[in-house]
Amino acid sequence: MKDTIVVLDFGSQYAQLIARRVREQGVYSELFPHDASAAEVMALQPKGFVLSGGPASVYAPGAPQIPPYVLESGLPVLGVCYGMQALTHALGGTVNPAPQREYGLVHLEVLRPNPLLPEGRYPVWMSHGDRIEALPEGFEVLARTANSPVAAMDDLKRRYFGVQFHPEVQHTPRGGEILRRFAVEICGATPNWTPENIIADRVASIRAQVGGERVLAAVSGGVDSSVATALVHRAVGDQLTAVFVDTGLLRAGEREQVEAAFRGALGAHLVVVDAAAEFLQALRGVTDPEAKRRTIGEKFIRIFEREARRLGQPRFLVQGTIYPDVVESRAPDRANAHRIKSHHNVGGLPENMAFDLVEPLRYLFKDEVRAVGEALGLPRALVWRPPFPGPGLAVRCLGEVTAARVAKLRAADAIFTGALEAAGLLRSSAREESAAKVSQAFAVLLPVKSVGVMGDQRTYQETIVLRAVTTDDFMTADWARLPADLLAEVSRRIVNEVDGVNRVVYDITTKPPATIEWE
């Protein structure tokens, strides 16, 4: 069993980030709601606990408290922000509102050598209104800031630690080191959560689950479905058949790229279904964005069912579900977060189909999925591909989806993204993750005609929108400040090379209030 640090979520927006940062130190970490059952959590035989921050005040009625099994376990505990306050409260110390909220970057002064915090004075990121007034018995002050006399505390005998700041955010430059010291040195976890070991771990569990049965996968060309399929192939070889449905709504070169990536390994076990005509037929006259998504989702399921029957109905189906999806669907505090758009994926699960699911990425973060993809030898273009909506070009072709309009959009999109790639502006590796590069870029075709003049001729044609955004998480986004010369050249080429387009505009809206896609 791999060494695991359990993060208990007290409702912090950063709880996932704690688990991710711990894993970046090479130690496996899983996130649970603070009220998860002891049996479920202890089944992982954790090496230690991190208690996350949270919006509550420990004295407020109904404020979440540390479950008894955590303190009874005898394992090391690190409380972060609210987690530290909950620890203080549980062990008999006092927490009070601070005279001043502390928010943003502050300087931490570490008072003595200790196993958790590197010595010295360095910046950390704070966000709290309450603070520790009296330490619980057995604790000592470990560090302070101008506004927090107890910015960190420890009880070395019981191996309990608390930090008022957030080691998990990027604004705390030494945060990774602090989490590593906790996980590796204090909890004694072995830092062996590397891509190679992740692959070995996943392969073993896929084999155990699948046995000698046959498995079906739907590849879409997206990162998750590609890596999931490659992992299952590594595990069970020829027992796997992958189906790629060409919906006719793909970008230029996409089908070829998927075939090139998988044909070598899968051979005849890669089935490409040419379904463009069927999708266009189903979309005839459909202009409402949600209706488009429903139509495409339905169609996909019908086609997939047909292929599954043709292939003798394999028992298992591969799903590219990743850890953030799992966490978000079980966190009680976020149950009400509502959907802005129905994000059902082409390649998504046909709900009433008789399959058992294989979900090899269920416990992996996106960056781990990419690292595994690289280690499995998938092409970089695939592993680093920006997200592409399941319904494909249909939701970027506003108004009716016809073969001619999709062709127009595809051509304009290829010119735009090709120019960005040639200029080295598209993000394509982990090292570029934080650089101000474009995270996602595409063209949108509007059913809006405007007047133009080409040669001596009056034109009355449709409009292309260019959309390019920078973002870390796709939840919020800024429009990319692209070089004006690049935009000029892209615009010139689109009106010259794409028939039926006489105007190009650039979308300068942030998300929110706009979304990244137009439908």
Map residue 396 onto helix, strand or coil: helix
* Element holding 308 (H helix, E strand): helix 289-310
Which residues does 307 contact at the CB level (< 8 Å), separation at least 6?
A: 243, 271, 273
- Closer Cβ to ligand XMP, 84 or 469, answer by number: 469
Contact set for ligand XMP, span 446-505 (CB under 6 A): 474
Phi first, then psi, for residue 154 (nearest 5°) are -150, 155
Q: Which of 29, 52, 54 is nearest to 41 (CA)?
A: 29
Contact set for ligand XMP, span 428-447 (CB under 6 A): 440
CA-based max dimension of the chain: 87
81 carries an active-site annotation: yes
Decide if 283 contacts 401 (C-beta within 8 A).
yes
**C-alpha to C-alpha distance for 189 and 179, rounded to whole angstroms:** 12
25 lies in the site for ligand XMP, by CB under 6 A? no
Cβ 214 to ligand XMP shortest distance, Å: 27
Cβ 167 to ligand XMP shortest distance, Å: 29
CA dihedral sign of residues 279, 515, 326, 228: positive
- Candidates 7-15, 118-126, 336-344, 417-425 — which segment interacts with ligand XMP by CB under 6 A? 336-344
Residue of 102, 168, 254, 519 marked active site:
168
Q: Which of 243, 96, 73 is nearest to 159 (CA)?
A: 73
Judged by CB under 6 A, which of 317, 389, 441, 461 binds ligand XMP?
389
Cβ 427 to ligand XMP shortest distance, Å: 12
- Closer Cβ to ligand XMP, 180 or 293, answer by number: 293
ω before 513 within 30° of 0 (cis)?
Answer: yes
**C-alpha to C-alpha distance for 52 and 86, rounded to whole angstroms:** 10
- Closer Cβ to ligand XMP, 107 or 343, answer by number: 343
- Candidates 190-198, 200-208, 259-267, 386-394 — which segment interacts with ligand XMP by CB under 6 A? 386-394
315 lies in the site for ligand XMP, by CB under 6 A? no
Residue of 34, 89, 128, 166 marked active site:
166
Cβ 304 to ligand XMP shortest distance, Å: 16
366 lies in the site for ligand XMP, by CB under 6 A? no
Number of residues interacting with ligand XMP: please give it, by CB under 6 A: 14
Decide if 151 contacts 80 (C-beta within 8 A).
no
- Closer Cβ to ligand XMP, 4 or 345, answer by number: 345
320 lies in the site for ligand XMP, by CB under 6 A? no
- Closer Cβ to ligand XMP, 54 or 390, answer by number: 390
302 lies in the site for ligand XMP, by CB under 6 A? no
Cβ 294 to ligand XMP shortest distance, Å: 11
- Closer Cβ to ligand XMP, 339 or 458, answer by number: 339
**C-alpha to C-alpha distance for 241 and 231, rounded to whole angstroms:** 13
Contact set for ligand XMP, span 140-169 (CB under 6 A): none
**C-alpha to C-alpha distance for 243 and 328, rounded to whole angstroms:** 28
489 carries an active-site annotation: no
225 lies in the site for ligand XMP, by CB under 6 A? no
User: Residue 7: exposed, middle, or buried by beta-carbon count in 10 A (0-12, 13-18, 19+)?
Assistant: buried
- Closer Cβ to ligand XMP, 462 or 519, answer by number: 519
345 lies in the site for ligand XMP, by CB under 6 A? yes
Cβ 475 to ligand XMP shortest distance, Å: 8
Map residue 20 onto helix, strand or coil: helix
343 lies in the site for ligand XMP, by CB under 6 A? yes
Contact set for ligand XMP, span 253-292 (CB under 6 A): none
Residue 1: half-sphere exposure toward Cβ, Cα within 13 Å:
10
- Closer Cβ to ligand XMP, 133 or 507, answer by number: 507
**C-alpha to C-alpha distance for 492 and 503, rounded to whole angstroms:** 9
Return the structure tokens found at 303.
Answer: 């086609």
Cβ 117 to ligand XMP shortest distance, Å: 38
Decide if 295 contacts 189 (C-beta within 8 A).
no
83 lies in the site for ligand XMP, by CB under 6 A? no
Judged by CB under 6 A, which of 2, 214, 334, 341 binds ligand XMP?
341
297 lies in the site for ligand XMP, by CB under 6 A? no
Q: What is the DSSP string of 72-113?
A: HTT--EEEETHHHHHHHHHTT-EEEEEEEEEEEEEEEEE-S-
Q: Which residues bind ligand XMP (CB under 6 A)?
A: 340-341, 343, 345, 387, 389-391, 440, 474, 511, 515-517
Which residues form the catalytic set?
81, 166, 168
